[in-house]
A and B are shown apart, each in its own frame.
Chain A
Amino acid sequence: KQEVTQIPAALSVPEGENLVLNCSFTDSAIYNLQWFRQDPGKGLTSLLLIQSSQREQTSGRLNASLDKSSGRSTLYIAASQPGDSATYLCAVYNTDKLIFGTGTRLQVFP
């Protein structure tokens, strides 16, 4: 059974720092991996999707990498801002379903 783990569960950093959020999964037979952002009381916003044949994807200050063989993905956020404060979720597409991690709650303070 696929399991997805995100470490750390919570992170608090000052504005301007570069940071890395980690996601690991137990079954490397995935089709893709998707990173989401969730603001309190809101739905999920898709940030990046990495197909299994890709190594990384970039969108603005965000860069996500994927290493299927080791069962890991990282989300790199450059020059963090208070507006980046949210919960970040990763999910792997395994057979025909998305399996989610429990998220990293990020707070960026001025």
Chain B
Amino acid sequence: DAGITQSPRHKVTETGTPVTLRCHQTENHRYMYWYRQDPGHGLRLIHYSYGVKDTDKGEVSDGYSVSRSKTEDFLLTLESATSSQTSVYFCAISAPSMATNEQFFGPGTRLTVL
């Protein structure tokens, strides 16, 4: 298995509070991604990073911010959590080859916003 961990694995929080999810990799891969998975929508890309301090928006980036100060860590922050952000969040990594870009996923974080 790819060396990807996510923390916390489960979190319950209240509307309006800030939340930060962490993704840590031991593979030294350049690309890292944050997805959310919701019934009926599949996985949707929130933000991604193509290097330290290099990030870009995905399909559903509103209400989320990210930071990457080290190759191994990619943080996802919900500045003020809302109930619509209740979801399962997955981090993924990929090697830099454009030809393949095979992505490997972490175990996920289940977030509930009350």
Contacts and interface: CB of A to CB of B under 8 A. Distances in A.
B45 interface: yes
Contact of A43 (B45, B59, B102, B105): B105
B110 to A, nearest CB: 8
Contacts of B41: 102
Contacts of A36: 105
B42 A51 contact: no
A97 B92 CA distance: 12
A90 to B, nearest CB: 10
B108 A43 contact: yes
Shortest beta-carbon contacts, A-B, top 4:
A44-B105, A102-B42, A100-B43, A100-B42
Interface of B: 33, 40-45, 48, 58-59, 90, 92, 98-108
A89 B41 CA distance: 12
Given A43-B90, A43-B107, A49 B42 contact: no
Interface string A79-90: 000000000010
Contacts of A45: 105
Given A42-B108, A97-B48, A103 B42 contact: yes
Given A89-B42, A89-B43, A97-B58, A32 B99 contact: yes
A98 B107 contact: no
10 contacts: A32-B100, A43-B106, A44-B90, A46-B103, A49-B102, A51-B99, A91-B103, A100-B42, A102-B40, A103-B42
Interface string A44-86: 1110010100000000000000000000000000000000000
